[in-house]
Structure 1
Amino acid sequence: MRTKLAIKTHAVLEKYFPERRVFLKSDNDTRFIRLRPGTQLIAFTGCALLVAWSIVATAVILMDSIGAGNFREQAKRDQRTYQARLNDLSGQRDARAEEALAAQERFNAALTQISVMQSELLSSETRRRELETGIDVIQSTLRDTMQQREEVRTRLAALQSEDGADLQVASNTAPMDFLADALARTAEERDQVIADAQDALLAADELTQKIALMEEQNDAIFRQLEEAMTVSVAPLDKMFRSAGMPTDQILRTVRKGYSGQGGPLTPLSFTTRGEELSVDTLRANRLLNQLDRLNLYRIAASKAPFANPVKDSFRFTSQFGYRRDPKTGGRRMHQGVDFAAGLGTPLYATADGVVTHAGWGSGYGRLVKIQHEFGIETRYAHMSKMRVKVGQRVSRGQRIGDMGASGRVTGVHLHYEVRVGGKPVNPMIYIKAANDVF
């Protein structure tokens, strides 16, 4: 059975792969190599496998190349979109900053106007009290004058009843003339007092109208101030909450560091009568409290890294989180964000603080560390030049160095880190939170 199968197989192979001989001729001898059908089949199969492997490998490489090209194009498109979004956010940030500045200016102008209105209100209230006192005196004098006139009339009637004869009346002509003159003067004084009282009442009515108008103006000013404070405080509060920072604790910390007081203590009041505080006084005190909260927020914002370390044109080349290592190709944690720009681009502190390190750092190259309030630290790596020293106090927006390519890098860029309590956090949390404010 095996012999028949072998014979049939050999016959089939002979049909497609007939036996061939390869002659090798030399100067002295001629030899040949016989290629049997089985040998030819093995060679053909090997060549076919080699060709198939080459085709598959070429297709795989071509597909990888096309996929990589598509990935790069997609990455470039995403990068352009992200850059456009950043430019738009930057424009919005500038607009919000201008609005906040305008609101602050309006608040200062309104506060000045409130002071003027307060002075006018006190002066008006003083004049009104003086007029009320004058009116009381005039009315009292008028009552006394009327009473005296009635007494004189009573006495005159009594004298007339006692003197029934004409002779006796004639003998008393002189006292009667004196009494008549006195009555005439009293009547004139009464008429003058009545006229003065009417003028005083008209002046009081005018003063009341002026006071009502001033109160309406004060109410309008208070509403504008309250709206301005709402517009100013709300974005700052949202910024801190977006960054995950406890606002109440931060404000207590700032208030504790800025709590110096002294001098005579004079409470805010719109009256000198020692009465209960008015509604306007309470509203003014609430506005002052909101203004104090706004100032505390602004102080805290200058001490937290909400600013951008690069102000010139740049692009983001690496985000916070796990990524492919550009040197080894392995996957590792990237503890900051990378800003790429030209060599020597100015770098700025993102918050007020103290420089704790300014020197070479393993892998970081030329490295600057700044310690801020609330347990926050920022790091600026791969600099070409450092412009601060250890122990130096810096302010937000102060230039601290130049962008470079020192340390473990593949090109010129800034590696920027934010650490809270020694643990790295995403710096973009702070930068994005401040887009609507700064």
Structure 2
Amino acid sequence: MRTRLAIRLHAILERYFPERRLFLRSDTDTRFIRLKPETQFIAFTGSALVIAWSIIATAILLMDSIGAGNFREQARRDQQTYMARLNSLSQERDARANDALAAQARFNSALEQISVMQSELLGSEIRRRELETGMEVVQATLRDVMSDKKVVESEFATLQAALDNGGTLPGQSGADSETVDLLANALERTAQERDRVVADAQQALIAADAMATELRSMEEKNDAIFRQLEEAMTISVTPLDKMFKAAGMNPDNILDKVRAGYSGQGGPLMPLSFSTKGGELTEDSKRANRILNQMDRLNLYRIAAAKAPFAAPLKDSYRFTSGFGYRWGRLHAGADFAGPHGTPIYSTADGVVVHAGWQSGYGKLVKIQHEFGIETRYAHMSKIRVQKGQRVSRGDRIGDMGNTGRSTGTHLHYEVRVGGKAVNPMIYLKAAKDVF
């Protein structure tokens, strides 16, 4: 069976590839090489495969060359679009920064106005208390004058009745002229005293009316000041409440921690207490205390905001190049900001430097420990300007932007960690964009 198949295959190949002999002749000898159909078929097939491979490879190279040109053009267009988008984002970020500066200026101006209005309110409240005390004194004097008036009128009526009954006082002789003169003088003095008492009473009534009018005016002014303070407190405190909540921080817990650890000037405000009798406070005093509580909350917010990383690490122009999240299966634990080499880098909150040196991957790295279990990291610096153990404030320059460590270009890698766990830094920056 195999022999028949081989004979048939040989016959088919011999039809297309007849047997050939290749003669090799020299000066002394002649030899030949016998080329069987099978050998010729193998050689032909191999040559055909080599030629086909060469054609296909050349076509692939041509297609790659043409496609590479298209890809380069597309990449160039994508790069132009990306750069335009980055420029647009940079301009928007600059506008946001200007808005934040303007908002901070308005915030500081509002605090100054609130301080002035608080002083006016306290002065007005003291003046009102003085007026109320003056009113009580005038009313007591008026009551004494009216009582004296009744006594004088009673004595006058007695003396007048004595004269009408024959010109003698009770128990005195009618012929006693000296007594009559004394009675006349006494009547005259009594009449003058009565007139003086009446005049004093009228003056007291007029003064009481004037004080009542001034008191009403003062109450209206106090009410206007109270309303302005309440509106100012609402405008100032509400955005701060929203900022801390947007950052995932419980405002009440944060303020309790600040209040418990407070040891500076301008701390929690004391409530008003004008009563010296131990009685219940007036509505105005309660209203003032509510405002003071809000001002205390605002002051504590100011302290807490300086201790949490709500500020931006860069003040100069920069490009946001990479965000927080997973890339190629690995967590990118911060945000990247690109800018010129040497761009100043600033602390985003008050804290203590716990690391200032080289760390693998991060390059030149600064770590700052803040309140509330928060830590910030600033990596790939070209120069470090702080030392370990140094206390820094929000806005202090801590280093310069660089390209040290595992980095593909000049940029700042900025991290925020809470309780040792990395969180998105943009949460804090976005939360504070409408406040600072």
TM-score computed with the length of structure 2 as normaliser: 0.81
Residue type of the alignment partner of 1:98: A
Q: Does 1:230 align with 2:234?
A: yes
Aligned twin of 2:108 = 101
Q: What whole-Å deviation, never above 9, does each CA across 1:38-94 have from its counterpart, x for those lacking one?
A: 999999977875665455434533443333233222221221221122111111101
Q: Counterparts of 1:158-237 in structure 2 under 5 Å?
A: 158-159=165-166, 171=175, 175-237=179-241
Q: Does 1:118 align with 2:125?
A: yes
Residue type of the alignment partner of 1:101: N
Whole-angstrom distance in 1 between the partners of 2:321 and 2:273: 58
Instruction: Identify the match of residue 290 of structure 1 among 270, 288, 294.
Output: 294
Whole-angstrom distance in 2 between the partners of 1:266 and 1:65: 70
Whole-angstrom distance in 2 between the partners of 1:194 and 1:347: 81
Q: What whole-Å deviation, never above 9, does each CA across 1:123-173 have from its counterpart, x for those lacking one?
A: 3223222211211111011000111122223334455799xxxxxx98465
Aligned twin of 2:435 = 437
| Contact 2:335 2:413 survives alignment (8 Å) | yes
What's the CA shift for 1:188? Answer: 2.2
Q: 1:48 to 1:94 in 2, by over 3 A?
A: same
Aligned twin of 2:15 = none
Q: 1:49 to 1:403 in 2, by over 3 A?
A: closer
| Contact 2:162 2:168 survives alignment (8 Å) | no
Aligned twin of 1:301 = 305
Whole-angstrom distance in 1 between the partners of 2:110 and 2:241: 16
Whole-angstrom distance in 1 between the partners of 2:258 and 2:335: 29
Q: Counterparts of 1:15-54 in structure 2 under 5 Å?
A: 53-54=60-61
Whole-angstrom distance in 2 between the partners of 1:271 and 1:207: 21
| Contact 1:251 1:300 survives alignment (8 Å) | yes
Residue type of the alignment partner of 2:288: A
397-406 or 147-156, which deviates more: 147-156
Whole-angstrom distance in 1 between the partners of 2:254 and 2:168: 95
Residue type of the alignment partner of 1:217: K
| Contact 1:122 1:271 survives alignment (8 Å) | no
272-281 or 348-357, which deviates more: 272-281
Q: Counterparts of 1:207-356 in structure 2 under 5 Å?
A: 207-258=211-262, 268-323=272-327, 332-356=330-354
108-117 or 146-155, which deviates more: 146-155
Aligned twin of 2:368 = 370
Q: 1:180 to 1:161 in 2, by over 3 A?
A: closer
| Contact 2:321 2:336 survives alignment (8 Å) | yes
68-77 or 368-377, which deviates more: 68-77
Determine helix, strand or coil for the equivalent of 1:356: strand
Whole-angstrom distance in 1 between the partners of 2:338 and 2:54: 52
Aligned twin of 2:417 = 419
Residue type of the alignment partner of 1:179: L
Residue type of the alignment partner of 1:136: R
Aligned twin of 1:24 = none
5+ residue gaps, structure 2: 1-39
Determine helix, strand or coil for the equivalent of 1:396: coil
Residue type of the alignment partner of 2:292: L
| Contact 2:90 2:317 survives alignment (8 Å) | no
| Contact 2:168 2:180 survives alignment (8 Å) | no
Aligned twin of 1:23 = none
TM-score computed with the length of structure 1 as normaliser: 0.81
Q: 1:171 to 1:372 in 2, by over 3 A?
A: closer
What's the CA shift for 1:410? Answer: 1.8
Whole-angstrom distance in 1 between the partners of 2:210 and 2:202: 12
Instruction: Identify the match of residue 382 of structure 1 among 380, 383, 401.
Output: 380
Q: What whole-Å deviation, never above 9, does each CA across 1:364-408 have from its counterpart, x for those lacking one?
A: 111111111111111111112212222222211112122222111
Q: 1:130 to 1:322 in 2, by over 3 A?
A: same
Identity %: 51
Determine helix, strand or coil for the equivalent of 2:354: strand
Q: 1:45 to 1:393 in 2, by over 3 A?
A: closer
Instruction: Identify the match of residue 99 of structure 2 among 86, 92, 102.
Output: 92
Whole-angstrom distance in 1 between the partners of 2:46 and 2:222: 110
What's the CA shift for 1:118? Answer: 2.9
| Contact 2:316 2:343 survives alignment (8 Å) | yes
Whole-angstrom distance in 1 between the partners of 2:125 and 2:212: 16
Q: Does 1:400 align with 2:398?
A: yes
What's the CA shift for 1:297? Answer: 0.8
- Cα RMSD of the aligned pairs, angstroms, is 3.3
Whole-angstrom distance in 1 between the partners of 2:333 and 2:382: 21
Whole-angstrom distance in 2 between the partners of 1:135 and 1:274: 27
Q: 1:161 to 1:258 in 2, by over 3 A?
A: closer
Whole-angstrom distance in 1 between the partners of 2:329 and 2:279: 73
Task: Give aligned pairs, total.
Answer: 393
Whole-angstrom distance in 1 between the partners of 2:313 and 2:270: 44
Q: 1:428 to 1:134 in 2, by over 3 A?
A: same
Q: 1:260 to 1:68 in 2, by over 3 A?
A: closer
Determine helix, strand or coil for the equivalent of 2:348: coil
Q: 1:304 to 1:135 in 2, by over 3 A?
A: same
Determine helix, strand or coil for the equivalent of 1:183: helix
Q: 1:389 to 1:112 in 2, by over 3 A?
A: same
Determine helix, strand or coil for the equivalent of 2:366: strand
Q: 1:39 to 1:181 in 2, by over 3 A?
A: closer
Whole-angstrom distance in 2 between the partners of 1:294 and 1:224: 16
Aligned twin of 2:13 = none
Whole-angstrom distance in 1 between the partners of 2:78 and 2:251: 42
Aligned twin of 1:150 = 157
Residue type of the alignment partner of 1:192: R
What's the CA shift for 1:430? Answer: 0.9
5+ residue gaps, structure 1: 1-32, 163-168, 324-329
What's the CA shift for 1:187? Answer: 1.9
